Amino acid sequence: MVGPEKGVWERADLAPDAVCIDCGGKAVVPGFVDPHTHAVFAGTREGELAMKLRGATYLDILSSGGGILRTVRETRPLDVLSLTRELERHLDIMMAYGTTCAEVKSGYGLTTESELDLLKAVRASNHPVERVATFMGPHAVPPEYSGRSEDFLELMTSLLPTIKEQGLADFADIFCEKGVFTPEQSRRFLTAAKDAGLGTKIHSDEIENLGGTVLGAGLGAKSADHLLVSGEKDLLALEASGTVPVLLPATLLTLFEEKIPPVKRMLELGLPIALATDLNPNCMCHSMQFVMALACYRLRMTPHQVLAASTVNAAKAIGLDHRKGRLAPGFDADLLVLKEGSFDHVVYQMGTNHVDTVIIGGRCQLSGVRH
Ligand code: NIG
Ligand code: FE
Protein backbone atom coordinates (compact mmCIF):
# COMPACT_ATOMS: atom_id res chain seq x y z
CA MET A 1 0.00 0.00 0.00
CA VAL A 2 1.09 3.57 -0.53
CA GLY A 3 -0.28 6.41 1.59
CA PRO A 4 0.05 8.57 4.65
CA GLU A 5 1.76 7.21 7.76
CA LYS A 6 -1.08 8.25 10.05
CA GLY A 7 -3.30 5.34 10.94
CA VAL A 8 -1.26 2.83 8.94
CA TRP A 9 -0.84 0.39 11.86
CA GLU A 10 -4.59 0.28 12.40
CA ARG A 11 -5.47 -0.63 8.81
CA ALA A 12 -7.30 -3.93 8.39
CA ASP A 13 -5.39 -4.75 5.18
CA LEU A 14 -1.97 -4.51 6.84
CA ALA A 15 0.02 -7.73 6.45
CA PRO A 16 0.26 -9.59 9.80
CA ASP A 17 4.07 -9.73 9.50
CA ALA A 18 4.45 -6.07 8.47
CA VAL A 19 7.56 -4.40 9.88
CA CYS A 20 8.40 -0.75 10.33
CA ILE A 21 11.51 0.56 8.54
CA ASP A 22 12.41 4.06 9.62
CA CYS A 23 13.66 5.89 6.52
CA GLY A 24 13.94 9.23 8.29
CA GLY A 25 16.11 11.58 6.23
CA LYS A 26 16.68 9.07 3.46
CA ALA A 27 15.23 9.12 -0.04
CA VAL A 28 13.02 6.23 -1.16
CA VAL A 29 12.89 5.47 -4.89
CA PRO A 30 11.49 2.66 -7.04
CA GLY A 31 13.83 -0.33 -7.45
CA PHE A 32 16.01 0.04 -10.53
CA VAL A 33 14.96 -1.92 -13.60
CA ASP A 34 17.81 -3.07 -15.87
CA PRO A 35 16.14 -3.70 -19.25
CA HIS A 36 19.12 -5.03 -21.24
CA THR A 37 21.60 -7.60 -19.93
CA HIS A 38 23.36 -10.68 -21.26
CA ALA A 39 23.83 -11.89 -17.68
CA VAL A 40 23.89 -15.63 -18.32
CA PHE A 41 27.34 -16.67 -19.53
CA ALA A 42 30.56 -18.32 -18.37
CA GLY A 43 34.04 -16.85 -18.10
CA THR A 44 35.45 -13.37 -18.46
CA ARG A 45 37.29 -11.49 -21.24
CA GLU A 46 39.67 -9.14 -19.44
CA GLY A 47 42.39 -10.12 -21.97
CA GLU A 48 40.52 -8.23 -24.71
CA LEU A 49 41.11 -4.98 -22.88
CA ALA A 50 44.78 -5.02 -23.92
CA MET A 51 43.79 -5.85 -27.52
CA LYS A 52 41.39 -2.93 -27.57
CA LEU A 53 44.06 -0.64 -26.12
CA ARG A 54 46.34 -1.70 -28.98
CA GLY A 55 43.66 -0.58 -31.43
CA ALA A 56 41.60 -3.70 -32.19
CA THR A 57 37.94 -2.89 -32.75
CA TYR A 58 34.97 -4.86 -31.41
CA LEU A 59 34.29 -6.33 -34.85
CA ASP A 60 38.02 -7.18 -35.37
CA ILE A 61 37.97 -9.21 -32.16
CA LEU A 62 34.70 -10.91 -33.10
CA SER A 63 35.81 -11.79 -36.63
CA SER A 64 39.04 -13.34 -35.29
CA GLY A 65 37.01 -15.76 -33.16
CA GLY A 66 37.18 -13.75 -29.93
CA GLY A 67 34.48 -11.63 -28.29
CA ILE A 68 31.07 -13.29 -28.25
CA LEU A 69 32.56 -16.42 -29.87
CA ARG A 70 35.09 -16.87 -27.07
CA THR A 71 32.32 -16.64 -24.49
CA VAL A 72 30.29 -19.15 -26.51
CA ARG A 73 33.17 -21.65 -26.25
CA GLU A 74 33.26 -21.18 -22.47
CA THR A 75 29.48 -21.25 -22.02
CA ARG A 76 28.54 -24.30 -24.10
CA PRO A 77 29.99 -26.93 -21.74
CA LEU A 78 27.86 -25.74 -18.79
CA ASP A 79 24.64 -27.50 -17.82
CA VAL A 80 21.50 -25.70 -16.68
CA LEU A 81 22.43 -25.92 -13.01
CA SER A 82 25.89 -24.40 -13.54
CA LEU A 83 24.44 -21.68 -15.78
CA THR A 84 21.87 -20.93 -13.10
CA ARG A 85 24.64 -20.50 -10.52
CA GLU A 86 26.58 -18.16 -12.82
CA LEU A 87 23.48 -16.05 -13.36
CA GLU A 88 22.64 -15.92 -9.65
CA ARG A 89 26.16 -14.70 -8.89
CA HIS A 90 25.58 -11.75 -11.22
CA LEU A 91 22.08 -11.11 -9.89
CA ASP A 92 23.49 -10.88 -6.35
CA ILE A 93 25.79 -8.03 -7.36
CA MET A 94 23.09 -6.30 -9.39
CA MET A 95 20.69 -6.42 -6.45
CA ALA A 96 23.30 -5.00 -4.05
CA TYR A 97 23.45 -1.98 -6.38
CA GLY A 98 19.69 -1.55 -6.43
CA THR A 99 18.46 -3.57 -9.41
CA THR A 100 15.19 -5.26 -8.49
CA CYS A 101 14.12 -6.45 -11.96
CA ALA A 102 16.25 -7.31 -14.98
CA GLU A 103 15.96 -8.52 -18.52
CA VAL A 104 18.37 -11.39 -19.34
CA LYS A 105 19.17 -12.49 -22.90
CA SER A 106 20.42 -15.84 -24.12
CA GLY A 107 22.94 -15.78 -26.96
CA TYR A 108 26.13 -17.46 -25.75
CA GLY A 109 25.01 -20.98 -26.64
CA LEU A 110 24.23 -20.73 -30.35
CA THR A 111 23.13 -24.37 -30.58
CA THR A 112 19.58 -25.60 -30.07
CA GLU A 113 20.40 -27.31 -26.80
CA SER A 114 22.60 -24.64 -25.33
CA GLU A 115 20.27 -21.74 -26.20
CA LEU A 116 17.34 -23.57 -24.57
CA ASP A 117 19.52 -24.32 -21.52
CA LEU A 118 20.41 -20.64 -21.16
CA LEU A 119 16.74 -19.70 -21.18
CA LYS A 120 15.93 -22.50 -18.72
CA ALA A 121 18.61 -21.11 -16.41
CA VAL A 122 16.98 -17.67 -16.53
CA ARG A 123 13.67 -19.24 -15.56
CA ALA A 124 15.17 -21.67 -13.01
CA SER A 125 17.33 -19.25 -11.09
CA ASN A 126 16.09 -18.81 -7.60
CA HIS A 127 16.60 -15.14 -6.92
CA PRO A 128 14.56 -12.21 -5.63
CA VAL A 129 15.48 -10.06 -8.65
CA GLU A 130 12.61 -10.62 -11.08
CA ARG A 131 13.75 -11.69 -14.55
CA VAL A 132 12.36 -11.16 -18.01
CA ALA A 133 13.86 -13.64 -20.48
CA THR A 134 14.83 -12.81 -24.04
CA PHE A 135 15.84 -15.36 -26.68
CA MET A 136 18.79 -13.96 -28.60
CA GLY A 137 19.91 -16.95 -30.61
CA PRO A 138 20.95 -14.62 -33.48
CA HIS A 139 23.66 -12.94 -31.39
CA ALA A 140 26.56 -14.06 -33.62
CA VAL A 141 27.14 -16.70 -36.28
CA PRO A 142 28.99 -19.62 -34.63
CA PRO A 143 32.12 -20.98 -36.38
CA GLU A 144 30.44 -24.20 -37.49
CA TYR A 145 28.06 -22.04 -39.55
CA SER A 146 30.75 -19.72 -40.86
CA GLY A 147 29.66 -18.42 -44.27
CA ARG A 148 26.24 -19.99 -43.73
CA SER A 149 24.48 -17.36 -41.65
CA GLU A 150 21.21 -18.12 -43.45
CA ASP A 151 21.26 -21.74 -42.27
CA PHE A 152 22.07 -20.67 -38.72
CA LEU A 153 19.31 -18.08 -38.73
CA GLU A 154 16.87 -20.67 -40.00
CA LEU A 155 17.82 -22.98 -37.11
CA MET A 156 17.35 -20.22 -34.54
CA THR A 157 14.06 -19.18 -36.14
CA SER A 158 12.83 -22.76 -35.95
CA LEU A 159 13.21 -22.67 -32.14
CA LEU A 160 10.76 -19.80 -31.68
CA PRO A 161 7.51 -21.82 -31.45
CA THR A 162 9.02 -24.24 -28.89
CA ILE A 163 10.38 -21.36 -26.83
CA LYS A 164 6.94 -19.78 -26.78
CA GLU A 165 5.12 -23.03 -26.03
CA GLN A 166 7.45 -23.90 -23.16
CA GLY A 167 7.24 -20.36 -21.79
CA LEU A 168 11.02 -20.03 -21.94
CA ALA A 169 11.14 -16.42 -23.13
CA ASP A 170 9.09 -13.24 -23.21
CA PHE A 171 11.01 -11.54 -26.03
CA ALA A 172 13.22 -12.31 -29.01
CA ASP A 173 16.16 -10.11 -30.01
CA ILE A 174 18.73 -10.01 -32.85
CA PHE A 175 22.08 -8.27 -33.38
CA CYS A 176 21.49 -6.27 -36.57
CA GLU A 177 25.01 -5.15 -37.44
CA LYS A 178 27.54 -5.19 -40.23
CA GLY A 179 29.18 -8.61 -40.34
CA VAL A 180 26.55 -10.10 -38.03
CA PHE A 181 22.89 -10.14 -39.20
CA THR A 182 21.45 -8.00 -41.99
CA PRO A 183 18.23 -5.96 -41.71
CA GLU A 184 16.55 -8.45 -44.06
CA GLN A 185 17.53 -11.35 -41.80
CA SER A 186 16.43 -9.33 -38.78
CA ARG A 187 13.06 -8.67 -40.41
CA ARG A 188 12.50 -12.36 -41.05
CA PHE A 189 13.54 -13.44 -37.56
CA LEU A 190 11.54 -10.77 -35.71
CA THR A 191 8.47 -11.37 -37.88
CA ALA A 192 8.65 -15.08 -37.04
CA ALA A 193 9.05 -14.18 -33.34
CA LYS A 194 5.95 -12.00 -33.50
CA ASP A 195 4.02 -14.75 -35.28
CA ALA A 196 5.05 -17.15 -32.53
CA GLY A 197 3.59 -14.72 -29.95
CA LEU A 198 6.82 -13.32 -28.51
CA GLY A 199 7.59 -9.64 -27.95
CA THR A 200 10.47 -8.24 -29.99
CA LYS A 201 13.62 -6.18 -29.46
CA ILE A 202 16.56 -5.27 -31.66
CA HIS A 203 20.23 -4.38 -31.20
CA SER A 204 20.54 -1.62 -33.78
CA ASP A 205 22.73 1.30 -34.81
CA GLU A 206 25.53 0.30 -32.45
CA ILE A 207 28.38 0.52 -34.92
CA GLU A 208 26.81 1.10 -38.35
CA ASN A 209 23.36 2.41 -39.20
CA LEU A 210 21.88 -0.36 -41.34
CA GLY A 211 18.26 0.62 -40.82
CA GLY A 212 17.63 -1.77 -37.92
CA THR A 213 15.90 0.86 -35.81
CA VAL A 214 13.37 1.76 -38.51
CA LEU A 215 12.84 -1.93 -39.06
CA GLY A 216 12.29 -2.66 -35.35
CA ALA A 217 9.93 0.28 -34.97
CA GLY A 218 7.97 -0.81 -38.05
CA LEU A 219 7.51 -4.25 -36.56
CA GLY A 220 6.31 -2.77 -33.27
CA ALA A 221 9.39 -3.84 -31.29
CA LYS A 222 9.13 -3.08 -27.58
CA SER A 223 12.63 -1.56 -27.62
CA ALA A 224 15.53 -0.70 -29.91
CA ASP A 225 18.83 -0.80 -28.10
CA HIS A 226 22.25 0.92 -28.49
CA LEU A 227 21.25 3.62 -31.04
CA LEU A 228 24.67 5.24 -31.06
CA VAL A 229 24.53 6.16 -34.73
CA SER A 230 20.77 6.66 -35.09
CA GLY A 231 19.59 9.58 -37.21
CA GLU A 232 16.45 11.69 -37.46
CA LYS A 233 14.42 9.15 -39.40
CA ASP A 234 15.22 6.47 -36.84
CA LEU A 235 14.06 8.68 -33.98
CA LEU A 236 10.87 9.66 -35.80
CA ALA A 237 10.18 5.97 -36.38
CA LEU A 238 10.58 5.31 -32.63
CA GLU A 239 8.26 8.21 -31.85
CA ALA A 240 5.61 6.87 -34.22
CA SER A 241 5.76 3.30 -32.94
CA GLY A 242 6.24 3.86 -29.20
CA THR A 243 9.35 1.64 -29.31
CA VAL A 244 11.51 2.48 -26.30
CA PRO A 245 15.08 3.65 -27.01
CA VAL A 246 17.44 1.82 -24.64
CA LEU A 247 20.83 3.49 -24.17
CA LEU A 248 23.90 1.67 -22.89
CA PRO A 249 26.53 4.22 -21.84
CA ALA A 250 28.80 1.66 -20.12
CA THR A 251 29.12 -0.18 -23.45
CA LEU A 252 30.38 3.03 -25.06
CA LEU A 253 33.13 3.19 -22.45
CA THR A 254 34.17 -0.41 -23.02
CA LEU A 255 34.36 0.21 -26.77
CA PHE A 256 36.48 3.35 -26.18
CA GLU A 257 33.75 5.11 -28.12
CA GLU A 258 33.76 8.87 -27.88
CA LYS A 259 30.54 9.53 -29.80
CA ILE A 260 27.29 9.71 -27.88
CA PRO A 261 23.78 8.77 -29.04
CA PRO A 262 21.41 11.58 -30.11
CA VAL A 263 20.05 12.05 -26.59
CA LYS A 264 19.21 15.72 -26.95
CA ARG A 265 16.97 15.08 -29.94
CA MET A 266 15.38 12.06 -28.26
CA LEU A 267 14.46 14.24 -25.30
CA GLU A 268 13.12 17.01 -27.57
CA LEU A 269 10.87 14.44 -29.21
CA GLY A 270 9.75 13.24 -25.78
CA LEU A 271 11.00 9.67 -26.36
CA PRO A 272 10.94 7.60 -23.15
CA ILE A 273 14.71 6.94 -22.96
CA ALA A 274 15.62 3.91 -20.87
CA LEU A 275 19.09 3.11 -19.51
CA ALA A 276 20.62 -0.33 -19.02
CA THR A 277 23.94 -1.89 -18.06
CA ASP A 278 24.22 -4.28 -21.06
CA LEU A 279 26.04 -6.56 -18.57
CA ASN A 280 28.07 -9.01 -20.67
CA PRO A 281 31.69 -10.22 -20.72
CA ASN A 282 32.68 -7.25 -22.89
CA CYS A 283 30.94 -4.76 -20.61
CA MET A 284 31.37 -6.08 -17.10
CA CYS A 285 29.05 -3.60 -15.44
CA HIS A 286 26.46 -4.75 -12.90
CA SER A 287 25.59 -1.38 -11.49
CA MET A 288 22.73 0.77 -12.72
CA GLN A 289 24.17 3.49 -10.45
CA PHE A 290 27.37 3.57 -12.52
CA VAL A 291 25.31 3.74 -15.72
CA MET A 292 23.26 6.58 -14.25
CA ALA A 293 26.39 8.61 -13.45
CA LEU A 294 27.62 8.05 -17.02
CA ALA A 295 24.24 9.07 -18.41
CA CYS A 296 24.53 12.34 -16.56
CA TYR A 297 28.19 13.15 -17.12
CA ARG A 298 28.54 11.78 -20.66
CA LEU A 299 25.02 11.91 -22.12
CA ARG A 300 24.10 15.12 -20.28
CA MET A 301 20.87 13.75 -18.86
CA THR A 302 19.58 15.37 -15.67
CA PRO A 303 19.24 13.31 -12.46
CA HIS A 304 15.47 13.49 -12.92
CA GLN A 305 15.69 12.13 -16.50
CA VAL A 306 18.15 9.48 -15.33
CA LEU A 307 15.82 8.27 -12.58
CA ALA A 308 12.87 8.01 -14.99
CA ALA A 309 15.11 6.21 -17.52
CA SER A 310 16.11 3.61 -14.90
CA THR A 311 12.66 2.97 -13.46
CA VAL A 312 9.44 3.81 -15.30
CA ASN A 313 10.93 3.92 -18.82
CA ALA A 314 13.09 0.87 -18.20
CA ALA A 315 9.96 -1.02 -17.10
CA LYS A 316 8.27 0.08 -20.34
CA ALA A 317 11.20 -1.30 -22.36
CA ILE A 318 10.41 -4.79 -21.02
CA GLY A 319 6.64 -4.45 -21.05
CA LEU A 320 6.25 -4.27 -17.26
CA ASP A 321 5.26 -0.63 -16.89
CA HIS A 322 1.89 -1.67 -15.47
CA ARG A 323 3.54 -2.97 -12.29
CA LYS A 324 7.21 -1.96 -12.12
CA GLY A 325 9.07 1.33 -11.99
CA ARG A 326 6.76 3.44 -9.82
CA LEU A 327 5.87 3.82 -6.17
CA ALA A 328 2.13 3.77 -6.64
CA PRO A 329 -0.92 1.80 -5.54
CA GLY A 330 -1.23 -1.44 -7.49
CA PHE A 331 2.47 -1.54 -8.37
CA ASP A 332 4.90 -4.14 -7.04
CA ALA A 333 6.52 -3.01 -3.78
CA ASP A 334 10.05 -2.95 -5.23
CA LEU A 335 11.82 -0.05 -3.59
CA LEU A 336 15.14 1.24 -2.42
CA VAL A 337 16.02 3.27 0.62
CA LEU A 338 19.05 5.37 -0.29
CA LYS A 339 21.80 6.50 2.07
CA GLU A 340 21.15 10.16 1.33
CA GLY A 341 18.11 12.38 1.36
CA SER A 342 18.02 12.97 -2.38
CA PHE A 343 18.41 10.83 -5.50
CA ASP A 344 20.80 13.42 -6.99
CA HIS A 345 23.60 11.91 -4.90
CA VAL A 346 23.40 8.69 -6.91
CA VAL A 347 24.54 10.43 -10.09
CA TYR A 348 26.69 13.04 -8.39
CA GLN A 349 28.95 10.80 -6.29
CA MET A 350 30.36 8.22 -8.66
CA GLY A 351 31.57 4.71 -8.03
CA THR A 352 30.13 4.14 -4.57
CA ASN A 353 26.95 2.35 -3.60
CA HIS A 354 24.16 4.70 -2.51
CA VAL A 355 21.68 1.93 -1.73
CA ASP A 356 21.02 1.28 1.95
CA THR A 357 18.04 -1.12 1.76
CA VAL A 358 16.58 -3.19 -1.07
CA ILE A 359 12.94 -4.26 -0.86
CA ILE A 360 11.50 -6.54 -3.54
CA GLY A 361 7.85 -7.57 -3.60
CA GLY A 362 7.42 -6.00 -0.17
CA ARG A 363 10.19 -8.14 1.37
CA CYS A 364 13.41 -6.68 2.66
CA GLN A 365 16.24 -8.44 0.76
CA LEU A 366 19.23 -6.42 1.92
CA SER A 367 19.61 -3.74 4.52
CA GLY A 368 22.42 -1.60 5.82
CA VAL A 369 24.37 -2.18 2.59
CA ARG A 370 27.98 -1.00 3.00
CA HIS A 371 29.89 0.67 0.17
O1 NIG B 1 24.94 -5.65 -26.57
N2 NIG B 1 26.25 -6.15 -29.31
C3 NIG B 1 26.03 -7.33 -29.08
N4 NIG B 1 25.99 -7.92 -27.92
C5 NIG B 1 26.50 -7.39 -26.72
C6 NIG B 1 27.95 -7.68 -26.54
C7 NIG B 1 28.20 -9.10 -26.29
C8 NIG B 1 29.64 -9.51 -26.11
O9 NIG B 1 30.56 -8.80 -26.58
O10 NIG B 1 29.85 -10.56 -25.50
C11 NIG B 1 26.13 -5.92 -26.58
O12 NIG B 1 26.99 -5.05 -26.43
FE1 FE C 1 23.39 -6.17 -25.75
Tell me the percentage of the chain whose pLDDT exceeds 70. 100
Q: Is 67 in the pocket of ligand 1 (CB under 6 A)?
A: yes
Distance 118 CA to ligand 1 centre (A): 16
Distance 7 CA to ligand 1 centre (A): 50
Q: Is 61 in the pocket of ligand 1 (CB under 6 A)?
A: no
Distance 330 CA to ligand 2 centre (A): 31
* Phi and psi, residue 59, nearest 5°: -75, -30
pLDDT band, residue 10 (cuts 50/70/90): confident
pLDDT at 353: 97
Q: Is 282 in the pocket of ligand 1 (CB under 6 A)?
A: yes
What are 68-82's pLDDT values in tens digits?
A: 999 999 999 999 999
Residue identifier of the C-alpha nearest atom 3 of ligand 1: 175
Distance 242 CA to ligand 1 centre (A): 24
pLDDT at 11: 86
- Please tell me the distance from the alpha carbon of residue 60 to that of residue 77, in angstroms, as a whole number: 25
pLDDT at 263: 98
Ligand number nearest CA of 138 is: 1
Ligand number nearest CA of 252 is: 1
Among 171-175, 180-184, 212-216, 364-368, which is the least confidently predicted range?
A: 364-368
- Please tell me the distance from the alpha carbon of residue 169 to that of residue 105, in angstroms, as a whole number: 9
What are 101-154's pLDDT values in tens digits?
A: 999 999 999 999 999 999 999 999 999 999 999 999 999 999 999 999 999 999
pLDDT at 125: 95
Mean pLDDT of 245-260: 97
End-to-end CA distance of the chain: 30
pLDDT band, residue 206 (cuts 50/70/90): very high
Distance 269 CA to ligand 1 centre (A): 28
